[in-house]
Amino acid sequence: GQNIDQPTEMTATEGAIVQINCTYQTSGFNGLFWYQQHAGEAPTFLSYNVLDGLEEKGRFSSFLSRSKGYSYLLLKELQMKDSASYLCAVMAPYDYKLSFGAGTTVTVRA
């Protein structure tokens, strides 16, 4: 099975940096995804990591360490519109299904 943990809530100030951690214990691994979801809306794809290291996309970066079962999403220069839930999802190797963590609600304050 898949066990994916991430913090429930985080609060940060506009312009600051926030790091959302995700740890996973899975029976296999075929990649990790981060999605952003605003309240009442669909998840939007942010990043994909399958190899160890850092992937950078503008203000968002994602890191993966497969040996540690650990990933983080780094949000820089926070804006009010970044207030949302951030979902960590792991893809299984055999059936390639996505399993989601419970999500981290990020609140950006002025």
Query: Residue 23 forms beta bridges with which residues?
Result: 5, 70
Q: 83: which 2 tokens?
A: 């207030």
Q: How many residues belong to the site for other proteins (CB under 8 A)?
A: 24
Residue of 42, 35, 2, 30 whose CA lies nearest to 20: 35
Which residues inside 7-66 make contact with other proteins, applying CB under 8 A? Answer: 30-31, 33, 35, 40-45, 48, 50
> Could you give the C-alpha distances from 101 to 15, 22, 38, 79, in angstroms and in order?
26, 8, 16, 24
- Between 80 and 99, how does the x/- string for binding to other proteins read (CB under 8 A)? -------x-x-x-x-xxxx-
Closer Cβ to other proteins, 39 or 110, answer by number: 39
Binding site for other proteins (CB under 8 A): 30-31, 33, 35, 40-45, 48, 50, 87, 89, 91, 93, 95-98, 100-103
